[in-house]
Structure 1
Amino acid sequence: MYVRPELPATVFVDAAGEPIPYGDRWGIDGPPERTYSRTRHPERFEPLIAVSRALVDHLEATYDVDVEVTEGLPDDAPDTIRDFEHGQVRVVRTTTVVPRHGLCAPLVIAETSFPSVLVAMGAAGLERAPACGCDACDESLEASAEELENLIFAVAKGRYQERYSWTEGIEIVVGADQGARWSRTPRQAADKERVDALKQSQRLRHGERWMPWPARRDDAAGTWDDAVDESRRRSRLAARSGHEAAVEQAIERIRRRLRAS
């Protein structure tokens, strides 16, 4: 069972020496203009690194996955993470978690010098904890840790889904126990790298949804049985054939109506 590392109860103070109530700083008037794009105490997010590593340990102990840790950025890092580096912000450590079943979404978790944690999900998803980090957004350490956990568990439990279509662009859903969060990036505004990665992923998955990660196996092979994979393949083919038959029947009904009119 995953247990969040204890978060330090560190108190940060403002210029007047008063404690800063992160997460509840601004009233109905909103944050002052000067607080945008400024972070006085980015070090308050440092414990998120320990949270992310505890999550990786939990994933490795619970699911049938391969884990690889790289100092800095690996050569095959997703473009979504590589493009995040700017100015003095650098990726200092990257952990790649790949399920051993091809229909499960992979994870790439990167620690940055901000400090923050980047999470690349599936083929095109990218989130960050904290989501912004500036003083105006007023994110607390606790809320950022919870969001990081929600992201990781959404992928492992098959609650993260993504799709690309010509009409809708990139659509992403991140589910959680309290509900789901949906976002859409129109085709014209989407990065070509994300679009290409998602289109390729959909082709390899034959358009199927990401599955929940399989539980860890303790046998020597550490992979799914061929019989299990074959059974799943046949089930998917049968379902696809049934869908195609239903479409053909619907088209034939429309044709008959047109001939009768």
Structure 2
Amino acid sequence: MRADPHITGANRFAVLHDAAEALLDELDQRYVVDRRETKEQLGPAEALVRMERLMPRTPAAAPLAIAFTDFPGLTVRLGRWWAEALPACGCEVCAEDPAQLVDVLRKQAFALVEGGLWERVRRGVGGSWFETRLIGVGVNGRREGPLTRRDARDARRGGFAAPVLWAPWPTRGGSD
């Protein structure tokens, strides 16, 4: 997300960076994951941003990735296709509340770690599409979108020819 010169008060979203850091620390301490930090481009015309990933040590559980944008804001990716921009816009007209966005971040992350993410690839007349659902406490969402032929082929090779219900993350202490 690029800063828009017509948006004032964007720094009210800086709280999202603090909340994401706290969430990543909490999840890293509670679950058996590997944590990786990189610099990546979110799009071809975008600057490099810091990306933090939590990769569960079981391949049956979906990863979480959070990009810290300069706006300030976040781009959150759950599993393969669930993506969320926080804030979605950031302008005064949309009036997105940073506290509510922190709540969205936490609810989506905990729905993921509790095994509430489902994804699949489906073929249609016009090509292949991804479909994803996220269900958890305070979350019940669905997303879909087109895939390039290459992405669809890679997804099917990666096990997404049939629907994938991601497993809950293993907790430290071995109870899960």
Does residue 135 of structure 2 align to residue 175 of structure 1? Answer: yes
Q: How far apart, in 2, do the equivalents of 1:37 and 1:131 lie?
A: 16
Map residues 18-167 of structure 1 onto 2, 5 A cutoff: 38-70=6-38, 72-73=39-40, 82-83=42-43, 86=46, 90-167=47-124
Secondary structure, aligned partner of 2:105: helix
Q: How far apart, in 2, do the equivalents of 1:120 and 1:196 lie?
A: 21
Q: Displacement of 1:49 after TM fit?
A: 0.5
Letter in 2 for 1:210: W
* Structure of greater relative contact order (alpha carbons < 8 Å, 6+ residues apart): 2
- Whether the aligned pair in 2 keeps the contact of 1:69 and 1:93 (CA below 8 Å) is yes
Gaps of 5+ in 2: none
- Whether the aligned pair in 1 keeps the contact of 2:66 and 2:76 (CA below 8 Å) is yes
RMSD of aligned residue pairs (Cα, Å): 2.6
Once the two structures are superposed, residues 140-181 of structure 1 have per-residue CA deviations (whole angstroms, 9 ceiling, x without a partner) of: 111111111122112111112211110372211122313411
Q: How far apart, in 2, do the equivalents of 1:37 and 1:159 lie?
A: 38
Gaps of 5+ in 1: 1-35, 74-80, 219-261
Scaled by the length of structure 2, the TM-score of the pair is: 0.82
- Whether the aligned pair in 2 keeps the contact of 1:91 and 1:113 (CA below 8 Å) is no
CA 66–117 in structure 1, closer or farther in 2 if over 3 Å, else same: same
In percent, how many aligned pairs have the same letter?
27
User: 1:246 matched to which residue of 2?
Assistant: none
Identify, as 1 or 2, the structure richer in strand.
2
Q: Displacement of 1:197 after TM fit?
A: 5.0
Q: Displacement of 1:113 after TM fit?
A: 0.4
Identify, as 1 or 2, the structure richer in helix.
1
Q: Which has the larger radius of gyration?
A: 1
CA 179–149 in structure 1, closer or farther in 2 if over 3 Å, else same: closer
Give the paired residue count: 168
User: 2:170 matched to which residue of 1?
Assistant: 214
User: 4+ residue stretches of structure 1 with deviation over 6 A?
Assistant: none
